[in-house]
Structure 1
Amino acid sequence: MKVGVTGGIGSGKSTVCRLFAQRGIAVYDSDAAAKRLMREDAALRCGLTARFGAETFRGGELDRGYLAAIVFSDPQALADLNALVHPAVMRDFDAWAARQQGSYVILESAILFEAGLEGSVDKTLAVLAPRELRI
């Protein structure tokens, strides 16, 4: 079974996931995976370069500042970035999940619903905390 764990910034989702990991449950950090895949996945790198230009990678490394300047000022560019990265992350998650032992795995994703990924998991756990506590 695949369980999605989501929640806002500072809600405690990473803490909850650490607790699962301490109990031997496999946890997939989708944010870390996205960063890794943008560095290592040749098809994703090619797609990013084709969409955002050769300047996307400098010296073989993702130029996060360059990419951020584009996507945070252009909603279509952000949608295009997400359309490239999210499917790559989910393919990686599915392959990773198939290699795990146990009755379930955890997908940690801050944007599970926003990215439309809730259909990729069997159950969802939303971690909530009052605004004052999150701050």
Structure 2
Amino acid sequence: MGSYIASDRSVAAARASGAQHRSMNPTQSLEKVADVFLSEAERAKRLNPPLCTDIWTAAAGLYGTEGEDGELAWQAEALCAQTDPEAFFPEKGGSTRDAKRVCGVCPVREECLQYAMDNDERFGIWGGLSERERRRLRKQAS
């Protein structure tokens, strides 16, 4: 199946090598947590060499190595795996803004969206799009 992302669109590469998962404090807004995560991701991207091993890159070995194209190897670089999963599966009517901000700088956004479209994912934010937005995109593509 072809790509659902226009060829003239680019996804800014971001690497969260040194970013740590943060537990949400009930008094802290999700937006503030997202801001902290994204600023740490930017700081980690500038480090040379990184302060710690990127656990998500190491986990890619479960699906394939750098030289191999494992079906789900892209998930090792997904920034959503390092943030609060609740942001990507909001309650009906809940905000998707923070999840989409993380997706906006994710290096595997295109692969994520392609996976969601190919597997007819009906819940959550995938590749920066909600289920409704993916459904609209699917209709436009056909």
- Give the TM-score normalised by the residue count of structure 1: 0.28
- Give the TM-score normalised by the residue count of structure 2: 0.27
Instruction: Give the structure with the higher percent strand.
Output: 1
Instruction: Give the structure with the higher percent helix.
Output: 1
